[in-house]
Structure formats: structure tokens, C-alpha cells
A and B are shown apart, each in its own frame.
Chain A
Amino acid sequence: MDSFNNTSDLRVTSGMETNWRITSKWAMFFAVLGFIFAGFYLLGAIAIIPMIRMMASMGVMPEPMASLIGSFSWVFVLIYLIALGSLFFLSYFHLKFSNGINRAINFTDQNAFVGAWRNLRNHYRLYGSMVIVFIVLYIVMVIAVFSIVGSAGGNLNY
């Protein structure tokens, strides 16, 4: 008996099930919203990425920006696509969590139960990694902009 229960006092209570059901409903709501926004992002990517490249090549933008985007436009495309993929998978994991936990409670499905928590873990792992990556990118961009502005500052004659 003990080996099956992993010598643990932790049990699933009805209070937990109620909380999980409510959590899963909101998770489903976030997932649907996330998919809608991912769709908008995709439409935006199709429209914006060629526009940014065109503007950079036409010289519409002020100088440090234009050369930055012109020479590193693939970086922007890559960041945009990573953000889009992350948003999609964040929603996907939420959706799987929501479906899994409901299935587990309704049909006493242990596999769905384990899968649901794996998907919530995946959601938070991706979310946390994404936050770390974007903080690092933010710092890198701030440093890049400052160094470009700093080097351009010597050539400005007002």
C-alpha cells in the first residue's frame, strides 16, 4: 500500500478539485485569447516585416535606427517569430492543462492527471525562460542603442 501511495500524506480533496476546475476554466480562457492574439501576431508579421525592411532600405527612418534595422533585420524577424511561437505554445500548454485536469476529475483518469500537471509545468517553464530571454534581450538592446548613439554623437553637428 505504502509503495503505491509513495509514503505521502498528500491526497486529492474535493476542495482541490473545485479549485482546479476554476483554474482550468480561466486557463482555457487565456488559451483561447492567446490563440487569437497569436493569429493577430501572424497577420502582423506578414504585414510588418516586409514594411520594416522596405523602410530601412528607403532611408525613411533616422540614421542610427535605419542602419541598425538594415543590417540586423533578420534579428528582428527572428525575435518576432520566437515571440509568436512562444505565445502559441504558452496557449497550447494551457489548453492541454485545462482539458487534462477536467478529464482527470470527470473520469478519474490518472494518465490525464499526470499529463495535465506536465503541461502546466511546461507552460511555466516556457513562460519563465521567455521572461529571462526578453530581459537579456532588453539589456542587450539598451547597451546597443547607447553605444550606437554614443558613436554617432561624435559626428552630429548641430
Chain B
Amino acid sequence: MEDLNQPLDAGLGSDASDDGLKITDEIRRYWLETANWALFLAVLMFIGIGLVLIGMFVGGMMSVGMAAGGGIAVMIMFFLYALLLFFPAWYYYKFSTLTKQAVNTGDNNALEDGFDYLKRFYRFIGILIIVVIALYILFFIFGIAMLSNFRN
């Protein structure tokens, strides 16, 4: 039972030394749901990695006879793709499990680590997007340069 017979500013004095932001039940519910969706996405990504690895072996087998080292090149490409998928999936998975653990047991270190993994996920995807956009622009410039070369 809550003790309602206390001043309105209870807990805002010495207890509010840690920046005043309180982790309420509402916030913990949001964190739990966010963590559950992140786990779902992580599982899907892990399934995707499995499919890519199957593709790596099938594609490698099929393209072995096509060209010298062709099978190896295809397999390396698939493997790089799987590696690229692995990091975000792993970060989501760690964020999800650590945050759930923190909310359920009140473990502050787990909470801090959980949000560290969420940050890593966002940073990874952000850098990936920047790299992809840069590559697009680079290919675009190369394409234009090649076209103008053909004309001369």
C-alpha cells in the first residue's frame, strides 16, 4: 500500500541527486516492450544469417566450375554479407536480454550495458547507411565519368 500521507516534494530533495530523472513503472513497461520487439528483430536477423550461410554453400558449390576462383569469390561475398548482418543482430539481442534482466531484477549495470548495445546498434546502422550512400554517389560519379569517356 502506498503511503500517501507525505509532502508532495518527497523524494525531490536529497534523493533526487542523480539528475532527477526517475525510472517509473511506465518507463519500465516501455523498455520491456521495446526489448521484446528488438529480440524478435534479432531472431529474424539470425534466421537471415542462417539463410545467407546456406546460400554461401549452395552458391559456392554451383559456381565452383564456372571460373578460376569463382566459387571462392562467391563464398567470400556471402560470408561478408552474413558478417554484416551478424553485428546488428548481436547488438539487438544483447540490448534485449540485458534490458529485460535489468527491469526484472533491478540490475543497474545490466541497464547501462543494455543501452550501450542499443547505442552500438544505432551507430553501426548509421555508419553502414553513410557508407552505402557514399558508395552510391561514388558509383554515380564513376558512371558519368565512364559515359563521357565513351563519347570522346
Taking beta carbons and an 8 Å cutoff, which residues of A are in contact with B? 1, 3-6, 8-17, 19-20, 22-23, 26-27, 29-30, 33, 104-105, 108, 110, 113-114, 117-118, 120-121, 124-125, 127-128, 131
Contact A26–B123 (Cβ < 8 Å): yes
Contact B34–A113 (Cβ < 8 Å): no
Alpha-carbon distance between A120 and B30 when the two chains are bound, in angstroms: 8
Taking beta carbons and an 8 Å cutoff, which residues of B are in contact with A? 2-3, 10-11, 15, 18-28, 30-31, 33-34, 37-38, 40-41, 44, 102-103, 106-108, 111-112, 115-116, 118-119, 122-123, 125-126, 129
State the main secondary structure of chain A at its contact with B: helix
Contact B37–A128 (Cβ < 8 Å): yes
Contact A6–B115 (Cβ < 8 Å): no
Contact B115–A19 (Cβ < 8 Å): yes
Of the candidates B10, B28, B111, B118, the one whose C-beta lies within 8 Å of that of A4 is: B10
State the main secondary structure of chain B at its contact with A: helix
The interface residues of chain B lying within 8 Å CB-to-CB of A23 are 115, 118-119, 122
Alpha-carbon distance between A102 and B3 when the two chains are bound, in angstroms: 33
The interface residues of chain A lying within 8 Å CB-to-CB of B44 are 131
Contact A16–B122 (Cβ < 8 Å): no
Output the nearest chain B residue to A4 by Cβ-Cβ distance.
Answer: B11
Contact B10–A12 (Cβ < 8 Å): no
The interface residues of chain B lying within 8 Å CB-to-CB of A127 are 37, 41
Alpha-carbon distance between A3 and B40 when the two chains are bound, in angstroms: 33
Contact A128–B115 (Cβ < 8 Å): no
Chain A's nearest CB lies how many Å from the CB of B85? 15
